[in-house]
Amino acid sequence: MRARLPWFAMLAVAAGAPAAARADPAPPAAGHRELNWVPVAGGDSDVGLGVGEIADWARIEPGHAQPYKWRLENGAFITFNIQHGDLIVPFQDYYFLLTWLDLGPAHTRLDVRPAFTDERTLKYYGIGNASHLPPSTVDIRDTEYRRIHPTLLVEARSKLGGAWYALLGNVYTQNWLDVPSSSLLARDRQFGTAEVKPFMRGFEPHAVDLIELAVGYDSRDNEIVTRHGMYHFLEARLSPAVPGWLPYGYVQLDATAQFYATPIPRWLTVSWRGVADVMMGDPPIYELARFDETPAIGGSKAVRGVPAQRYYGKVKLFQNLEARSELLPFKLGQKSMVLGVAAFLDGGRSWTEISRAHPDLDGTGWGLKYGIGGGLRLQEGQTFVVRADLAWSPDAQPVGAYFAAGEIF
């Protein structure tokens, strides 16, 4: 399973150091259980201020290919904001993620993730890579819409031989959208040009069921804190159209390449990722701003510094280059901790669709969106990392700030 982090982890700004996790006794050689818990507080101009928690409980197995045999992760976050004198709740997210390794003779990895998310202030400024921000006189509420979506993800990943694996999965999501009649999205739906209107789908309550098929190569030394190796995969996700139940039929193709190297042990780890995401068919409108369940050209998991949901299109291409350094190993009680730093350069671009050019929507030049920045890393035990990043971008207002569970890749 790729790292599908919850929205709150992508959008929350660090408000303080993690609270002390419960310290396990000295681990026995035969293995032990590890518990981590981090309270979260923060926010940004999109989601306001909020509180929550991220936790995991894992069975550590010495000598195992990964640091754990099984891992149960939990997260919850809720934000509050004042908008035109009223108290609103822009964002809520609650989830569990169970990961169990080495099931059966094929050493299958099973991931099960139920979640409930309520995103009240999703942004929409227009379709295409060349979309413009509206004048400052436009009410911020007219750039927003709401999406409520409980989701159940089940994925099984089996070894094919060596570092190769195959993945079969299913992601079922029920969706409810609330689009104010005065919003930019509602106006494009009703009065948009002939180029824009074909992308206006998904406004009525609906379900999407994505069938996943993937093949990958994974030689990483550790999936939580990777120092060397590679992780590549090709994936096809099919959303079948079933009248009256699953109205939107489309195919999503993803290709990802990731490389890790540590030329100076502890002091310098360099990692690079390239991602291509292509949709064909009739996806709902909110999918045009995402890849793999997270924001694409923008947000914490793709191009940091660019606001989430800033650019909409069926085709996305982006890269991340990051250098990390472990500065200070220390103990908190009996728990091993490592404080580190990172610097990064993210960049990418979107296109409206692959089947035809839309120069009026996408522009004709490079159209590159990028972010430059750095941040802190805190590793707790062997199975948990939190990161705090700041990123500058020409699209940032004025900078992007993120507090997240796990590395970006």
The fold of 7-405 is Porin (2.40.160)
**Backbone torsions φ then ψ of 7, nearest 5 degrees:** -55, -40
Token pair in block for residue 251: 């195919």
Q: Are 97 and 112 in contact (CB under 8 A)?
A: yes
Q: For 93, left (φ over 0), alpha (ψ -120 to 50), or beta?
A: beta
> So where are the chain's domains?
7-405
Residue 3, pLDDT score: 43
Q: What is the DSSP string of 344-394?
A: EEEEEEEES-SSS--HHHH-SS---EEEEEEEEEEEETTTEEEEEEEEE-T
Token pair in block for residue 187: 């106006």
Residue 196, pLDDT score: 96
Q: What is the pLDDT of residues 244-287, one digit of tens each?
A: 899 999 999 999 999 999 999 999 999 999 999 999 999 999 99
> Considering the chain, what is the average pLDDT of its residues?
88
Angle at the Cα of 314 from the Cα atoms of 309 and 316, rounded to 5 degrees: 70
Residue 367's contacts (CB-CB under 8 Å, 6 or more residues apart) are 129, 130, 349
Confidence of residue 63 (pLDDT cuts 50, 70, 90): low
C-alpha closest to that of 374 among 343, 400, 346, 405: 343
